[in-house]
């Protein structure tokens, strides 16, 4: 008997937040009788969960759309919130566009499009205006990994770093109720999950009623059946020695910290609106290493930010050399719409960005090798 369940292929671009969103979307669709497929060519519906953090990430999506054979195509995630219905002009084959806070509506939208697909009533749908999500979407129980789960603790961000599009595509910071986060973790453990990663654009800013991030770590650490957990991402300006002490005291917490520095130049950090100095960052690192024994430390670096001079770059290079990160993710600056930096001239040329990128990459490779 032919299985008449409609097959949905969902491709995820970008960060862990998008990976978790894709799981949520798959869980919601499975509940409505759709079958999640890993074969794009055989799928009836193809959904791209997109990322807008760099031009390169968007270019990948635009070229992927052209290759889709499926009957129904959907664009969701950060590009959907960024470009809204303009996506239909650039890619007329797209049927629906759904923003980061509207993902709960995807099953109904697909049903509506399916109803009229082959008739003169066929229409395109876009939903991008919600400012928050209902917490129940996190309880579909769909996970791509049977041992590990991502758990969102906060959505959005209000730091407005000058280069970053996240506040414009994921909205204002919203901390989830800790009772709901703990309920989700317990459901995951009942489903056999033993490892958890707490997710937020800036987890340090988590605060729900009287519970801040340090208290949340204590609550999660006390959950029975949980073997190990970690968290990502922190912002240096909201990071304190108290957090490091809490990390040390939490026996189930992986002693791992991802602390994006972005630049080693105070002038560039100011232009980036990062809210800390090189000296403040180096003090944090020293404290972290003093308090969290054998803790690993990784970071993000942007090279080629507008007006970055060779001297600014040298400051970044020396900082990476002095700190000795366990790993560093290095990116070339690319202009993002709506951001403060978009008004600055992108004056570091492509070749020079690549030269700076490979210099830091080579340096970090040598440091990581030495640490092995
Ligand atoms: S902290 Fe800055 S870089 Fe990180 S998501 Fe928020 S605005 Fe973007």
Q: Does residue 148 contact residue 160 with C-beta atoms inside 8 Å?
A: no
> 3-state class of 195 per DSSP?
strand
CA of 160 to the centre of ligand 1 (A): 6
The gap from C-alpha 92 to its chain's centroid, in whole angstroms, comes to 28
Q: Which residues contact 115 (CB under 8 A, 6 or more apart)?
A: none
Residue 33, Ramachandran bin (φ over 0: left; ψ between -120 and 50: alpha; else beta): left
Element (H, E) at 207: strand 207-208
Q: Which two tokens stand for residue 95?
A: 């049927």
Please tell me if the CB atom of residue 160 comes closer than 6 angstroms to any atom of ligand 1. yes
CA of 32 to the centre of ligand 1 (A): 35
> 3-state class of 74 per DSSP?
strand
The gap from C-alpha 293 to its chain's centroid, in whole angstroms, comes to 28
Residue nearest to atom 2 of ligand 1 (CA): 161
Closest to 232 (Cα-Cα) out of 340, 111, 151? 151
Ramachandran angles phi, psi of 45, nearest 5°? -130, 130
Mean pLDDT of the chain: 95
> What atom in ligand 1 is closest to the CA of residue 262?
3
- Render pLDDT for 123-177 as a digit per residue (tens, 0 to 9): 799 999 888 898 999 999 999 999 999 999 999 999 999 999 999 999 999 999 9
Tell me the β-bridge partners of 346: none
Task: Give pLDDT, residue 69.
Answer: 82
- Render pLDDT for 269-318 as a digit per residue (tens, 0 to 9): 999 999 999 999 999 999 999 999 899 999 999 999 999 999 999 999 99
> What atom in ligand 1 is closest to the CA of residue 157?
6
How many whole angstroms separate alpha carbon 242 and alpha carbon 288? 10
CA of 51 to the centre of ligand 1 (A): 14
Residue nearest to atom 5 of ligand 1 (CA): 201
Ramachandran angles phi, psi of 155, nearest 5°? -115, 155
Task: Give pLDDT, residue 5.
Answer: 78
- Averaged pLDDT for residues 227-249: 97
CA of 333 to the centre of ligand 1 (A): 14
Please tell me if the CB atom of residue 273 comes closer than 6 angstroms to any atom of ligand 1. no
- Integer CA distances (angstroms), 299 to 17, 46, 216, 285, 360, in order: 18, 34, 23, 11, 12
Task: Give pLDDT, residue 3.
Answer: 57
> 3-state class of 246 per DSSP?
helix
CA of 348 to the centre of ligand 1 (A): 22
CA of 56 to the centre of ligand 1 (A): 18
Closest to 74 (Cα-Cα) out of 90, 88, 54? 88
Residue 212's Cβ-count burial label (10 Å; 0-12, 13-18, 19+) is: middle
Ramachandran angles phi, psi of 40, nearest 5°? -60, -40
Longest dimension (CA), the chain: 69
> 3-state class of 174 per DSSP?
strand
- Render pLDDT for 92-134 as a digit per residue (tens, 0 to 9): 999 999 999 999 999 999 999 998 877 877 779 999 988 889 8
- CB count in 10 Å sphere of residue 216: 24
Q: Which two tokens stand for residue 65?
A: 């759309």
Residue nearest to atom 1 of ligand 1 (CA): 159
Please tell me if the CB atom of residue 154 comes closer than 6 angstroms to any atom of ligand 1. no
Please tell me if the CB atom of residue 203 comes closer than 6 angstroms to any atom of ligand 1. no
My answer on whether omega of the bond before 233 falls inside 30° of 0, hence cis, is: yes
> What atom in ligand 1 is closest to the CA of residue 160?
7
Domains, the chain, with CATH or none: 7-127 (3.40.50.12160), 145-371 (3.80.30.20)
> What atom in ligand 1 is closest to the CA of residue 159?
7
């Amino acid at each position: 008997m032919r299985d008449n369940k409609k097959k949905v292929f969902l491709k995820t671009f970008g960060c862990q937040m998008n990976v978790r969103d894709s799981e949520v979307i798959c869980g919601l669709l499975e509940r409505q009788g759709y079958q999640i497929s890993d074969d794009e060519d055989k799928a009836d519906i193809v959904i791209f969960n997109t990322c807008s953090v760099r031009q390169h990430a968007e270019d990948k999506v635009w070229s992927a759309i052209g290759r889709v054979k499926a009957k129904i195509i959907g664009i969701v995630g950060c590009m959907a919130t960024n470009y809204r219905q303009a996506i239909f002009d650039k890619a007329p084959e797209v049927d629906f566009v759904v923003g980061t806070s509207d993902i709960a509506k995807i099953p109904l939208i697909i049903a509506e499009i399916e109803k009229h697909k082959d008739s003169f009533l066929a229409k395109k749908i876009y939903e991008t205006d919600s400012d928050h999500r209902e917490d129940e979407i996190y309880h579909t129980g769909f996970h791509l990994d049977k041992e590990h789960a991502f758990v969102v603790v906060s959505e959005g961000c209000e730091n407005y770093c000058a280069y970053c599009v996240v506040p414009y595509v994921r909205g204002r910071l919203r901390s989830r109720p800790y009772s709901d986060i703990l309920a989700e973790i317990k459901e995951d453990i009942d489903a056999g999950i033993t490892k958890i990663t707490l997710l937020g654009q800036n987890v340090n800013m988590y605060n729900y009623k009287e519970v801040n991030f340090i208290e949340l770590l204590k609550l999660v650490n006390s959950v029975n059946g949980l073997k190990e957990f970690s968290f990502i991402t922190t912002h240096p300006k909201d990071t304190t020695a108290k957090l490091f002490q809490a990390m040390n005291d939490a026996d189930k917490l992986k002693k791992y910290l991802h602390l994006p520095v972005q630049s080693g130049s105070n002038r560039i950090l100011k232009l980036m609106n990062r809210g800390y100095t090189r000296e403040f960052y180096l003090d944090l690192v020293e404290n972290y290493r003093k308090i969290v024994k054998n803790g690993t430390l990784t970071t993000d670096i942007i090279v080629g930010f507008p007006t970055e001079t060779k001297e600014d770059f040298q400051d970044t290079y020396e900082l990476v050399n002095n700190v000795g990160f366990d790993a560093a993710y290095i990116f070339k600056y690319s202009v993002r719409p709506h951001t403060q930096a978009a008004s600055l001239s992108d004056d570091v040329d492509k070749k020079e960005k690549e030269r700076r990128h490979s210099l830091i990459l080579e340096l970090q490779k040598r440091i990581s090798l030495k640490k092995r």
